Structure 1
Amino acid sequence: MIAQRTARLTTLLALPAALALTTALPAAAHEGHSGTMSGHTYQVDLAQLNKSGAHGTAMLSIDGTKLTVKIQASGLVPGQPHAQHIHGSTTGHDFHCPTAGADKNGDGVVTTAEGMPAYGDINISLTTKGDTTKGSGLAVDRMPVATKDGSLSYERTITVSPAVADHIKDLHVVQHGIDTNNNGKYDFNKGKSELDPKLPQEATAPTDCGMVMGAAVGSMPVGGVETGSGSTEGIESPGLIAGGGVALLSAGALFVVVRRNRHRAAAETR
């Protein structure tokens, strides 16, 4: 009789733990699925580089492999085309916007080549039409042109790879084009561009850069020990952690009750 009662209690107390685990596991599987970025919009605040005075906001909306990019920027060189790209890696490298310290030759300008070790290579060229690959990175004839007051408005929907869709939070936006001598146009004041000698350095140097807001929160660390903290934050599913906690509490309660019943049964048989 006592054994039957103990078995029933064991079964009833095990149910919450089992339910907690079965609830947490599908949530964990969903959160780790490659489509978790679908239907999300991310904000990128563009801050000036090279003391350009440029700033703006980019909105990245991902739906499956369709990426819609909207950019509103100001403080740009008026009437000039501004090359713009999504930079970074989808394979685990930790890239970010450069600082003034990236100016290795001390000429006062962080060039594209000097900034690239910080913000990575071109992933997507944000052209107004046609090709959007790295090959169109300097397609100035298809880049947006700033208005006479130095503002720029851009919107385009692009088909991207699943890797870009899954790692959009690891990427960032860079716009290019500065005016170091304030004459209202690109000239060779800072020499030739190291990317294309037919272009002035001013035309290709970065003018602003921005990373996805909150990218470090809840984003899985990549790149091994260089970016991982060794803690559970940002690695395990929150649902799984919560579910596991409930399961452990239920299991603890189960152990206490079973142990208590065993002692009671032993006392009754004496």
Structure 2
Amino acid sequence: MIARHTARLTTLAAVPAALALCAVPAVAHEGHATATSGDSYQVDLAPLNNSGSKGTAMLMLDGTKLTVKIEASGLVPGQPHAQHIHGSTTGHDFHCPEASADKNKDGIITTAEGLPSYGDINISLTTKGDTSKGSGLAVDRMPTADKNGHLSYERTITVSQKVADHIKDLHVVQHGIDPNSNGKYDFGKGKSELDPKLPQEATAPADCGMLQGAAVGSMPVGGVETGSGSTAGVEAPGLIAGGSAAALAGAGVFFVRRRKHQPADSNS
């Protein structure tokens, strides 16, 4: 009788511990990410350039297979939005840019002004095909916001072992803003430093979110991985020659609208 009573108490005592192991909630903070389970991370995308855009990205890593899911709102309706995973896999320290990144005080943090903060492109979050830095402005393969400015994205890609090892030191950036609220990309804020054929509005960052492990607010160590802070590799001329130039058209509307993409799996 005593032995049976003792066994019952032991079983009941183990229940709270088992529940605690199964019910560890994810706690996310604006512009930062917290591990949800194992190699899964939630990223809150916070607005840049007063874009009004915000969203959530989920990154799930299985070996070198990375699944990225993004739900964002407040983006420029009907326009493609370049999006990337930025940061370093070699020990450099990068983070989402602060207002002080606007060096010429024109009210816009451009891609070039943001690079010293958020680092170079590691992965281009295209809807299909290549995901390298070279596809950074492949606008014909970037997701398009719907008529309400909402964007949904999902893709599983193969990444390098370095990216897998340093995933917590990387972060997500979406591009494309509409500061004059006319519902399209135009040259109201001048030409993009990436290509004068493109408006600044099309390439300026709209939002950013850091994964756990990135040092919020700290200064980068040594600049971007190229060592120069250059925008080389994300310049548009080569991409335009490959077909995304068809995206330039019409009175002030510079990107052709694609049909709604379907999530794609790739080993790019």
Q: Normalised by the shorter chain, which TM-score bucket?
A: 0.5 to 0.7
Cα shift at 1:159: 0.2
SS of aligned partner of 2:109: coil
Residue-by-residue CA offset, 1:228-264 (whole Å, 9 max, x unaligned): xxxxxxxxxxxxxxxxxxxxxxxxxxxxxxxxxxxxx
1:112 aligned partner: 111
Structure 1: state its 5+ residue gaps. 1-37, 225-270
SS of aligned partner of 2:76: coil
1:125 maps to amino acid:
S
Q: Tell whether the 8 Å contact from 1:78 to 1:149 is kept in structure 2 after alignment.
A: yes
Q: Give runs of aligned pairs for residues 214-225 of structure 1, distance below 5 A.
A: none
1:260 aligned partner: none
1:68 aligned partner: 67
1:58 aligned partner: 57
Distance 1:213 1:95 in 2: 12
Structure 2: state its 5+ residue gaps. 1-36, 223-268
TM-score (norm 2): 0.66
Cα RMSD of the aligned pairs, angstroms, is: 1.9
Q: Tell whether the 8 Å contact from 1:39 to 1:63 is kept in structure 2 after alignment.
A: no
Distance 2:213 2:190 in 1: 37
Extract structure 1 runs of 4+ deviating beyond 2 A: 213-217
1:137 aligned partner: 136
2:170 aligned partner: 171
1:114 maps to amino acid:
E
**Is 1:181 the equivalent of 2:143?**
no
Residue-by-residue CA offset, 1:177-218 (whole Å, 9 max, x unaligned): 00011000000001110011111000000000000146569x
SS of aligned partner of 2:66: strand
Q: Tell whether the 8 Å contact from 1:39 to 1:64 is kept in structure 2 after alignment.
A: no
Distance 1:209 1:184 in 2: 21
Q: Tell whether the 8 Å contact from 1:193 to 1:199 is kept in structure 2 after alignment.
A: yes
Q: Tell whether the 8 Å contact from 1:47 to 1:209 is kept in structure 2 after alignment.
A: yes
TM-score (norm 1): 0.65
Residue-by-residue CA offset, 1:64-99 (whole Å, 9 max, x unaligned): 000000000000000000000000000000000001
Larger Rg: 1
The number of residue pairs the alignment matches comes to 183
1:99 aligned partner: 98
Distance 2:93 2:174 in 1: 20
Cα shift at 1:125: 0.2
Q: Tell whether the 8 Å contact from 1:76 to 1:177 is kept in structure 2 after alignment.
A: yes
Distance 2:41 2:180 in 1: 35
Distance 1:68 1:39 in 2: 14
2:44 aligned partner: 45
1:160 maps to amino acid:
V
Distance 1:172 1:216 in 2: 11
Identity across aligned pairs (percent)? 83
1:203 maps to amino acid:
A
2:116 maps to amino acid:
P
